[in-house]
Amino acid sequence: MISSSSMRVAAAFLLVLLFLVDVVCSEECTRTCIAQNCDTLSIRYGKYCGIGHSGCPGENPCDDLDACCMVHDNCVEANGMTNISCHKKFKQCLNRLSKSIKQSKSKKVGFSKQCPYSQVIPTMNQGMDIGIMFSQLGNDLRTELSVLLRIYSWPKRRRRHHVGTW
């Protein structure tokens, strides 16, 4: 049986998911490199980074970080917003970029001086951690609900009524 706390968490998850879908659907594609809200979850970076922020088809990314975001956007579009594999691959891309920056002794920089990699990458990692958490929660609830639906919709055995003679 599903507990009331699980139902509250599920309801909160669905509200957040509906909000994110609304944001994603309402935003138009981007043709210019943008750098806004660099240290918040409402970040807009490059053409592809940020919730609901996406470049127009055929647009080249602004830098290496934006390229990670473009690959993530394509993965999520193909596999769904709660696909944890997409989120983990994005974090791997961020980690490779961070290592590359360290190896360059911080000479490798992004397109924006206003939003340096040192600020944007941790923000993106934090956002992905939250995305993974919500995706796991949503996937767990979906699994639990499908099991419950199978249990409660299982065809009941019909009892045979013996029709006797009097």
The gap from C-alpha 30 to its chain's centroid, in whole angstroms, comes to 19
Query: Nearest-CA neighbor of 128 among 100, 161, 97, 86?
Result: 86
- Start-to-end CA span in the chain (Å): 45
**Catalytic status, residue 87:** no
Contacts of 82 (CB under 8 A, 6+ apart): 17, 134, 135, 138, 139
- Cβ contact 48:70 at 8 Å: yes
Which member of 53, 72, 87, 161 is catalytic? 72
Active site residues: 72
